[in-house]
Amino acid sequence: MKAILDRIFPYSIAFLIGVLVCYFFTQIEYLEIDTKVSVPDFIVSVISIGIGIYLAVVIQRRQSHSQNHYNYLLSKLDLNWAAYNTFYEGISHRSSIELRELNPFVKQFQIRNNDLNRLFDPIMVSNNLDILIDELEDIFLKSPKQNNVIDFSSSKTEIEKKGKKISKEFVRVYNEINKKC
């Protein structure tokens, strides 16, 4: 209760000062202040300032909420993008990968991407990253395997094309978030 009073008290003092200033400015006529108190003018001044403060608070809360949502979405997308870039950087210099590296990456990526998709639904942002990662995984799994090691040297160009497509999709989603939020 005390915390609420501590928050409201400064605003109420500022409100009362604003009402008095507003009232006195409305009473100035040819640089003379009318000393009579006009009750209707005073009431209109109080109502006007009250509406102004209410609108300011509502607009600030909405702006703060959408900014927090935007930052949260971007941080989640950046986390997924960084994980993908780390994985892609690791495979771009090699011609083979162990299944124990591929499977956890795909699984974790899909989990994070599903969380992102739930966040994207209310703002109607489409995301095809899960489909593209599945296609990339299929390319790896179609490559020859020996002792749980995938040799993808024969599919290297196809993997690079798919990697560029995934990067373009990340950029598209990032731009779409910027437009919507």
- Read off the pLDDT of residues 117-133 as tens digits, 9 standing for 90 and up: 887 777 777 788 888 98
What's the pLDDT score for residue 3? 64
177/98: higher pLDDT: 98
Residue type, 92: S
Q: For residue range 15-48, what is the model confidence (pLDDT) as tens digits?
A: 778 777 777 776 666 566 666 767 887 788 778 8
Dihedral Cα 92, 96, 102, 103, nearest 10 deg? 170
Q: Which two tokens stand for residue 132?
A: 């593209």
- What are the domain boundaries of the chain? 66-180
What is the band of 82 on the pLDDT scale with cuts at 50, 70, 90? very high
Question: What DSSP line would sit under the chain, residue for residue?
Answer: -HHHHHHHHHHHHHHHHHHHHHHHHHTEETTEE--S--HHHHHHHHHHHHHHHHHHHHHHHHHHHHHHHHHHHHHHHHHHHHHHHHHHHHHHT-SEEEHHHHHHHHHHHHHHHHHHHHHHGGGT----HHHHHHHHHHHHHHS-EETTEEE-GGGHHHHHHHHHHHHHHHHHHHHHHHHH-
Q: For residue range 132-165, what is the model confidence (pLDDT) as tens digits?
A: 989 989 998 888 888 888 888 888 889 899 989 9
Q: What is the pTM of this model?
A: 0.63
Tell me the percentage of the chain whose pLDDT exceeds 90: 9
